[in-house]
Chain A
Amino acid sequence: MSPPRSPEGHGLHWFRQLTGQDGIVPGTVATVRVADAPLRQESARFIAVVPDASNRFVRARHGEVGLDEAWALAQQVRATLAADRGKRPRAIVALVDVASQAYGRSEELLGIHLACAAAADAYASARLAGHPVIALLVGKAMSGAFLAHGYQANRILALDSPAVLVHAMSKEAAARVTRRPIEALQELGERIVPMAYDVRAFAKLGLLYRLIEGVQAQAPDAGELERVRGELADAIADTRAGPRDLSHRWRSEAPRGLRAASIAVRRRLTEQWELP
């Protein structure tokens, strides 16, 4: 059972809580919200993708990352890069609650793959330019939408909440495509960890920097908000002290168990790269 969901989704809710703003940017689609807000000693740029029931693309009205959303993400992240050139690169926090990429005929024709790639490119380029890029999972982090918004982050944090789900395909779609009942997928996820949807299983894969426990995804109180801000600030400080690539995802302690093959492949490739 998924928990009740406010119409605006967790992304906007958390965006408002953490920034105190609505984040609508003139000239940009209403589904991509951007605002700066303080985190400990510095100002961070928060970005969220939110639902819009009147989105001009009908397949992107429920919090999906569609064509306009992905290009707007690319634009907004690149604008941050440009604004900070020659200065200390500011932290970028992606608040993630994205149900999926938009599925549709127009989306394919108009190149949604390119739009999502442009968003991923912008986040990766920001990370490589020294911007600490942090993803905070507050709801769904699904498939291509997560690749476009969050998965290029230096550090991924998540609320330990049943509202937070991570997967390559939504449960409903996976059930239809594989012709399995949802319960069977559930059971499979309990046996095969990378098949699970819940964030506690995802945490076991070693891809998360922090699983934040004891915080309500729907209605965080003031103390809980402060704790989340503290975790974000810690992640930013840790990022500034480390490399700009994603190597911690397979070099940290956690992945040694369940991501052992990812590590073994890299070790053996390195050994064989040069002729003996």
Chain B
Amino acid sequence: MSIVLRDSFIEMPARERARAILDADTFRELLGPFERMKSPWLPLQGVVAQADDGVVVARGRLAGKPAVVAAIEGAYQGGSIGEVSGAKIAGVLELALRDCERGAPVRPVLLLETGGVRLQEANLGLAAIAEIHAAIVALRAHVPVVGVIAGLVGCFGGMSLTAALCSRLIVTRQARLGMNGPEVIEQEAGIAELDSTDAALVWSLMGGEQRYATGLADVLVEDDAGMIAAQVRAAFDSVAASRTEQVERFVKRLASIDPIQPPEPAQLRALWPREAPR
């Protein structure tokens, strides 16, 4: 009898996820919960502010090399990005950039589990996300920036752009990646456009497997902490241009689509096949 034991990454809270990604015993959290760096805006709106604002940032090592991980806690406020949580992510990316520019590269990893901007902090969340984007583009000139979407929250809103900007994007089948959440699309465009309660439909459009099959994610991995950690290490050996730099390739792909008769998700896999590994 053989039992395959999997160590579910999805079930881990953010702090455990960051620990699971980094080399054993190298996890060192920055601005941890005991420092109580909380949202100044949530209490004004009757919402209890969590001591780490839902983002864990930690330094450590990956395959022995200096690294930094930012892990979003999907269980807190839907993983939403507020002023503090956004500044934690932008701040460590900016410090990684500073070190890279000084000739001491740091490997950045983003564990994305987020609905996007926290509506209670609206413009400050959006501003922080723009700063995260700026830092990723600057960092990528020095070192790959690796993103992981495991699930179950997925990665939405302005943070879906963050995922797209990563040099390498690792997803599970349980992941979802989209700019507009299904509920928002249903609200804005009507239930005929998208029934947000139809989980099979939602995953067929924006699930990890579909994103991988159409070349919008680089690695499809099982929900297993060890396998995900191994894929993160391997991603740093990649030297390919990031997807957002391959403008002509994607413009050509889009031009071939007729929006009056848009393809079904399965058809799109045939129209936009994955290419040979980038």
Judged by a CB distance under 8 angstroms, whether A202 is at the interface is yes
Known contacts A195-B120, A266-B91, A272-B30; 14 additional CB pairs below 8 A are A103-B184, A110-B257, A111-B164, A111-B216, A118-B245, A144-B157, A151-B127, A168-B123, A168-B125, A169-B119, A173-B188, A258-B124, A265-B88, A269-B31
Q: Given the complex, which residues of A lie within 8 Å of B231, measured CB to CB?
A: none
Q: Which of B59, B141, B187 contacts A176 (CB 8 A)?
A: B187
Closest beta carbon of chain A to B41's beta carbon, Å: 6
How many whole Å from A218's CB to the nearest CB in chain B? 24
A–B complex contacts, Cβ < 8 Å, 30 sampled? A56-B260, A75-B247, A78-B247, A103-B180, A110-B268, A113-B161, A116-B179, A117-B164, A120-B130, A128-B137, A128-B141, A144-B161, A151-B126, A168-B122, A169-B117, A192-B41, A194-B83, A194-B125, A195-B122, A245-B94, A249-B127, A258-B124, A261-B37, A262-B87, A265-B31, A266-B94, A270-B91, A273-B30, A273-B95, A275-B28
Say which one of A4-12, A46-54, A66-74 lies at the interface with B.
Answer: A66-74
Contact-residue bracket for chain B: 35 or more
The interface residues of chain B lying within 8 Å CB-to-CB of A88 are none
Q: In the bound complex, do residue A269 and residue B92 qualify as a contact, i.e. CB atoms below 8 Å apart?
A: yes
> What is the bound-complex CA distance between A109 and B260, given in angstroms?
14
For B157, the chain A residues whose CB sits under 8 A away are: 143-144, 168
Residues of A within 8 A of B94 (CB): 245, 266
Q: Is B170 an interface residue, CB under 8 A from the partner?
A: no
Please state if B262 and A259 are interface contacts (CB–CB under 8 Å): no
- Min distance, Cβ A145 to any Cβ of chain B, angstroms: 10
**B257–chain A nearest beta-carbon distance, Å:** 6
B125 contacts A261, C-beta separation under 8 Å: no
Asked if B41 contacts A194 (CB within 8 A), the reply is yes
- The CA of A42 and the CA of B84, in the complex, are separated in Å by 40
Interface of B (DSSP majority class): helix
**Minimum CB distance partner of A265 in chain B:** B87
On chain A, the residues within 8 Å of B28 by CB distance are 275
A169-B122, A273-B59 known; A106 and B262 CB under 8 Å?
A: yes
Q: Which residues of A contact B189 (CB under 8 A)?
A: 59, 103-105
B133 touches A124 (CB 8 A): yes
